[in-house]
Amino acid sequence: MKRIATLPLLLCLILLTACSSAPSEFTQILLAHRDPATDSPTDANGVAVGVSFTTPLSGLEFECALTGEAAEITVSIYKADTDYETTVGADPVREERITNLSAKLLWQFDALPAGDYIILFSNPKNASLIKSVVTSYEGSGKILHYRNGTVMTDGTVALTLLFPTTEGTTPALKTFTYPIMEQ
């Protein structure tokens, strides 16, 4: 019985540390078009991304610059509510302390329903997020990047959203309706 209970955890750890790209059964939406010549690391602590999507979200893929051994980061996803402080003051709907970071990381989880969310990166150890200097990809809506509650104006986090590929359903980004999302 104990082996069965640890199997999902082991599988999750393998996915977190070993995958370098999203599995083919996912539709990917990149939040920024990246330029490897100009992209640079940025402090990961307090960086948050406000996203709104039309279909369930099943994972994230992001890139880090590792600055030492045993790199770690916490990634939390919050349901958007009223304003930034209220949102991140609530319990996250998904959270993971990711250890043994690699340069490119895939985090898959039980799907979140369509809606408005904030993805928060915090408590990094020996790691920085990779930031693109280009404007955020907007799709059919606005994606906002924050640092400690203030809109980032110096670039966007290299982050990809993963949606289950379902016949007849195309994931899309949309504009937040909450005041926290206005620039």
Mean pLDDT in residue range 110-137: 84
CA dist 71 → 97, 122, 123, 142, 159 (Å): 11, 13, 11, 31, 18
**Element containing residue 10 per DSSP (H, E):** helix 2-18
Per-residue pLDDT tens digits for 128-163? 888 776 655 544 455 677 777 777 777 778 888 888
Is the separation of the CB atoms in 128 and 67 below 8 Å? yes
In SS3 terms, 15-66 reads as HHHHCCCCCCCEEEEECECCCCCCCEEECCCCEEEEEEECCCEEEEEEEEEE
Decide if pLDDT at 41 tops 60: yes
Q: What does the pLDDT read at residue 165?
A: 77
In angstroms, the CA 129 to CA 59 distance is 17
Question: Domain boundaries in the chain?
Answer: 2-181
Q: Is the pLDDT of residue 178 over 60?
A: no
pLDDT at 154: 72
The CATH number of 2-181 is 2.60.120
pLDDT, residue 175, reads 65
Global confidence as pTM: 0.78
Average pLDDT of every residue of the chain: 75
Percent of the chain topping pLDDT 90: 20
pLDDT value of position 43: 80
**pLDDT of 21 over the 70 cut:** no
| CA gap 88, 85 in Å, rounded | 5
Please name the helix (run of DSSP H) or strand (run of DSSP E) that holds residue 88, with its range, or none.
helix 84-89
